[in-house]
Amino acid sequence: MSWYYCLEHMKTEPEDGCPNSERMGPYVTEGEANMAIELAAERNATFDADED
C-alpha cells in the first residue's frame, strides 16, 4: 500500500484518497507521508543552497 499527503485536507491518506493532482506522494509508509511538507522544505532548501 502507498501513502499520500493531501494538500487540500492537509492530512495523510491511503491510495484511495483524493486525486493525485491534490496530493504529494506516493510514500512507502504513513510516517513518511506525514513528513511530506517537511521533506519538501528540506529538499527546497538544499536546492536553493546549491544554486549559490
What DSSP letter does each residue of 1-52 carry, written as one string?
--EEEETTTTEEEETTSS-GGGEEEEESSHHHHHTHHHHHHHHHHHHHHHH-
Range of the domain at 10: 3-51
Quote the cell numbers at residue 42: 528540506
Would the pTM count as exceeding 0.85?
no
pLDDT at res. 51: 75
Asked whether the beta carbons of 3 and 30 are under 8 A apart, the reply is: yes
Cell numbers given for 34: 506525514
Domain count across the chain: 1
pLDDT tens-place string over residues 3-52: 999 999 999 999 999 999 999 999 999 999 999 999 999 999 999 998 76
